[in-house]
Chains A and B, each alone.
Chain A
């Protein structure tokens, strides 16, 4: 009798365990996307007037980084420019001493800590070998692909430590990140939730 009872309990365990489901498999690509923004609380964005942006997108994979400019990348950079202009910033060429510099990266490796990511030296190059200074709170761990967009303070470069501070950072994660149809909504969203960037 006891054996019979034990069998019932064991079968029930298997039956119940198999009930586990995926509660987010009904989300659309856009619904699955997560927009994370952060900023340097000490930065006063009203003191900035001009901006520029990298001429290509940084592709980070397995601790190596290269640059690329696909039509998807172009769409992303263009939309960033549009949003910055809408916030009141003036777009200038990179060699015209912009107050802030923006860069975008496609990160596709696993378990990357943003703070230690070997980012392109694009903006550092203009400043004679400056590195990027990410406050510790920018460090996110991930095991998936995502877009990362950063804003650097070029106006107040740390000349002693040769460091450019990241004053705003955004990540776009989820599904459909390579779909050109979603670029506008993705980029508009990260700027839309960062009202403090507005200078007009």
Chain B
């Protein structure tokens, strides 16, 4: 009996005491994403509008076959740095026409103009708001190299040129967290990208305005 009384007293003492203690304020601590540098991976789908002489001389059709994946290191200040690997494919079909060549021959063919790029770039972002804000607008500059494939088909015959060329870009975008302190979010970005290149129809490089929508996952 004595035992039970002791236990009852213990509970009587502890439980009220526990109830009176204020709950530990776990969320008064900043999120780990604010406290630590962290990582972010972003997969993007892009629509690309050709610009300049690339558009006027070779392909003026907007491309919807562009993808990329980026890995980013988000720093505690307003910056983040990372790398992005992409794939973009432009193409345009031109009905049969006769093309005179420099050697004097005439070629009659249906032309299929294509340009494929695999850009590999490092980038730096500057955020205008905190790295755990629900909306995180940023500006981006990037530079790297592109594996570039210019293939112009005359019917089923191809005139191909492959080269590795420097690539650079400047963009403006924003990240949107799906929930506060969450790991997932969306990324919208508009970016100008250019690659110097000179071959046949493309004499002043490949440039485009790229609008992308992406999904990111972040972790620390």
Interface residues, chain A, with chain B CB atoms under 8 Å away: 1, 5, 8-9, 12-13, 16-17, 19-21, 23-24, 27, 31-39, 41, 137, 173-175, 189, 193-194
Contact = CB atoms under 8 A, between A and B. Distances in A.
Given A9-B83, A31-B96, A33-B155, 4 more contacts: A16-B69, A17-B118, A34-B154, A174-B157
Contacts of B104: 38-39, 41, 137
Tell me the interface secondary structure of chain A in the complex.
mixed
Contacts, number: 86
11 contacts: A8-B71, A16-B87, A23-B112, A23-B153, A24-B155, A27-B155, A33-B109, A37-B106, A38-B104, A174-B157, A175-B156
Contacts of B87: 16, 19
Interface of B: 39, 41, 65, 67, 69, 71, 83, 85-87, 89, 91, 96, 98, 103-110, 112, 114, 116, 118, 151, 153-157
A36 B107 contact: yes
A32 B105 CA distance: 19
Nearest to B72: A5
A34 B106 contact: no
The 5 closest A-B pairs by CB, nearest first: A38-B105, A34-B155, A32-B156, A35-B108, A16-B87
A19 B89 contact: yes
A16 B118 contact: yes
B85 A173 contact: no
Contact of B116 (A20, A35, A38, A189): A20
A173 B155 contact: yes
B105 A23 contact: no
Contacts of A1: 39
A1 B96 CA distance: 54
Contact of A193 (B69, B98, B151, B155): B98
Contact of A174 (B39, B65, B91, B155): B155
A36 B106 contact: yes
Contact of A173 (B69, B112, B116, B157): B157
A123 B157 CA distance: 31
B105 A34 contact: no
A102 B103 CA distance: 23
A27 B91 CA distance: 14
A38 B69 CA distance: 48
A174 B106 CA distance: 16
B21 to A, nearest CB: 38
Contacts of B39: 1, 5
A148 to B, nearest CB: 13
Residue among B69, B91, B156 facing the most chain A CB atoms (10 A cut-off)? B156
Nearest to B82: A5
A5 B73 CA distance: 11
Given A34-B107, A37-B106, A39-B104, A19 B67 contact: yes
A23 B155 CA distance: 11
A41 B103 CA distance: 11
A36 B103 CA distance: 12
A9 B156 contact: no
A32 B86 CA distance: 31
Contact of B106 (A24, A41, A193): A193
Contacts of A194: 106
